[in-house]
Structure 1
Amino acid sequence: MATVSKCRLSYHRRLFLLLLGISWVLVGCFVAYQYGREKYFKIERLDARLQLLNLRLLDELAAGVRPDSLMAGNAGRFPGLRLTILDHKGRVHYDSRSDTTRLANHLNRSEVRAALINGSGYTLERLSESSHEHYFYSAMRGDSLIVRSALPYNLELSEVLAADRGFLWFMLGVTLLMSVAGYFATRRLGHNIVRLRDFAERAERGEVIAESEPFPHDELGDISNNIIRLYAQLQKATAERDRQHELMLHEEQEKIRIKKQLTNNINHELKTPVAAIQGYLETLLANPGIDAARQRAFLEKSLAQTGRLRQLLTDVSIITRMDEGSQLISKEPVVLNDIIAEVAADVQLLPPERRLRVHCDFPGPVEVCGSPSLLTSVFRNLTDNATAYSSGRDIFIRLLADDEESCTISFADNGIGIEEEHLPHIFERFYRIDKGRSRKMGGTGLGLSIVRNAIAIHGGTITAHNRPQGGLEFIFTLRKHS
């Protein structure tokens, strides 16, 4: 197939040859028609002159003028003139070039038959049987006679009757100009067709095709530009679809990885409280005579571990719900001031050694569209984190920015902060800075991860940094509309 394609004439050449053939045929037909019309016009004009002569001769013959006198009077006007007079039966009565006794009947001559039928007639060129010369014959019928005048059909007369060659050369020049113009026109069209063919071959191979040099501003160019533009847009859409598919696949794989990691971490985290509870209960069962104070201490420790176990299961449930059904979480108008006030009231119920002062700096009510439970978990987990680990005495909640689209909030404490190396990891699940201290305080390692996911569900982001004056500050945004 490739060999055939290479040997085949290009579209440009085939189209040019087709147009060239059509134009030459049309011009040839026009020239032949015009040439014939011009020659016929000249013949008719010559015949008209001879017919006028014939008419005058008939009139003079009717007036009694002798044929010889007629011939002598008109020979100078028509060089080589031959005059023949015959009756309606075709018998020759007079001929200026031949002896009438030797002439055959002329009734079968075409110009004579036409004169008898139509009154006049002519024959362009015929060989005379008597003189053996070619003549142009013109005959006219009278009342009793037929007058026929003839001129020798020699080179001079043939040139007179021939069509104008200047017109022929003019049409030839016009045809050549048309051929040159057709060549350049078809070459331009062929170039565009070749570009379209190359585009189709590249598209078939699946190559990346950007919007290249535009085609000319005509119908074919507009169609070509639209095809290439649509294909380029289709390629972009396909690439974007594949990118989104890969991204979704990556996210799905990441979710699977996180689920496995979460399962492993949960198993690890559950072992500690379960093992502690099991150890306390086995000790109580193995030592029934243990004193009441130690029994109570063991039971209180078991109760604390069950509380930690319950908190761990609650946090895991929240994390799972946000991971698998974030788009299904119902949202409604929520006033953040009310949530902060509720969390601050809960802090005041803590024992004095764990109680922090909550300072809220909101100039007015701030309302967002969100999940009340998740937004509550944001402020509660940040508060619990500050209460448990900051070693500070105050919590500062400030509204940094507020517009129609979103609000930006700062949550800070005046505690000891954390080391810089831990800042990039504090939102990871089960990440603990001081693992022993975190477990002692009852932490699950999921609080800040819950905060980050809850803020992400509300279209925001969160960052953390150490304050220059001491303590840790979280800055996060929340979108006001879902």
Structure 2
Amino acid sequence: MKQSTSRKHFLTFSGKLFLSVTSLFLTFIICFIAYQYQREKAYKVELLNMQLQDYNSRLYERLSMHPDLNKTANEYIRSHTLTNLRLTLIDLQGNVIYDSYKAHKHPLENHLNRKEVQKALEHEQGYDVRRTSETTGVSYFYSATRYGDYIVRSALPYNVSLINNLKADPHFIWFTGITSILLLIIFYKFTKKLGTSISQLREFAMRADRNKPIEMDMQFAFPHNELGEISQHIIQIYKRLHETKEALYIEREKLITHLQISHEGLGIFTKDKKEILVNNLFTQYSNLISDSNLETTEEVFAINELKDITGFINKHQEQRSIGKSEKRMSININKNGRTFVIECIIFQDASFEISINDVTQEEEQVRLKRQLTQNIAHELKTPVSSIQGYLETIVNNENIAPEKMNVFLERCYAQSNRLSRLLRDISVLTRMDEAANMIDMERVDISVLVASIVNEVSLELEEKHITVVNSLKKSIQLKGSYSLIYSIFRNLMDNAIAYAGTNIQININCFREDEHFYYFSFSDTGGGVSPEHLSRLFERFYRVDKGRSRKLGGTGLGLAIVKNAVIIHGGNISAKNNQGGGLEFIFTLSKEK
């Protein structure tokens, strides 16, 4: 990544600016020099042409005075200072009348197609810079002038002397080059200062993009100009924004922490019904209200019981403007033995909040505390009274038969075992209530643990023709107490085996996972329980069928242990009847506790 960045910024801003402007400047200078060079060369060509035109004019004056063309032309050439001057007289039809280099053996060809001749016929004068003569085989500079019935043409050989004479003056090139170098040096110093400011801004922007604070040891030196002032203002604005962002982040963390430990389910959504923030209880309560488990939070808007809330939200979305005041709606829902108060608040930006509050929880807790002492006394009294009654019968009847005495002693032993289990479960609950923070935590593989429990109860499952469908995927791991997590799934399994009936199916599934929690479902296809019992299943010593529970040896504390173990692991548990029959427990376990 660093290499690609260095390649991308191989040239600094000042370097790119300097090279760009220098390229344009040099292009302009080159074009200017080329233009000036051609212009000066053209000027010297015109000057030479004017000189030859002057020669032509003087020759014509002599010819006008002396009708002998050959004699007059030869004398003119001999008397002229230009060396190697060639003269030619051509009539208007292109025929050569006289040529100073004429070889008298053969007549010269028609010159009507010569460039300088054509120009002279058309404009009275013309020239051709460099053309090789077909007569002499030498390159000449031709200049022709029309006078009356013929054309006077003079020519100079295009030799080294003439080439040097036609060259442009190189002094202006040197002057232009030196001036350009001085301007480039001045511009380089200017762009270097500008580049230093841009580099400082770039360094600042990179630190800001990486969310690094602008510390005192990181000094940004800017020039004392408009760019420097703007840069200083940008840094000050960033510092204020950074401080504000840090403060908002702290407040956000406080808010999220508060929502997660809140005793009500809370969900905040965008105007498009997309999740912004949802706490654990919101998901838990939504699944209790829904007839099917929700895989995503947005599915809450499809719950039939919440159609009034959904309609209320849709109504205000269609209006597109909800005014300055907040809009509220509240409904009550009774589902699975619980009463929920659901409130929706729509904010000014069309986002909204839905809160779900279980109003039966506080009442249940008061009732549980009031009945706890009575239940413990009652549950302890039953086995103690049975043991006392059997022992009194044995003691007061000296002639009791040995067989009957053995029966009484076996019943006493069974009741003492029940009393022992009862005291053990009470001890476990007390330990979870009073010393939850002292429980050792370790990495627990839920998939392996559940598979082990299914294997342990396999004989009981076969006796009652119960099928277990374990849909847990591999490697569902969390940090917790192995013994407590074992007690959760073991008590739920024992409860289903004992009370759900025969020829049923038990389903174990982790139907959802997010950043913090696993969401589990433990259900059976038995007869379920009456709705009025659902909210009290986790009470200590509560029994749906008291006589049957005692007959099966239950203590009435199994589901209470399950609930406390789930709470210790940062989760919640609830029970509901499935539409197809049977009882379903929905609970969450935190990944890190």
- For Structure 1 versus Structure 2, the TM-score category normalised by the shorter chain is 0.3 to 0.5
Give the TM-score taking structure 1 as reference length: 0.47
Larger Rg computed on CA atoms: 1
More helix by share: 1
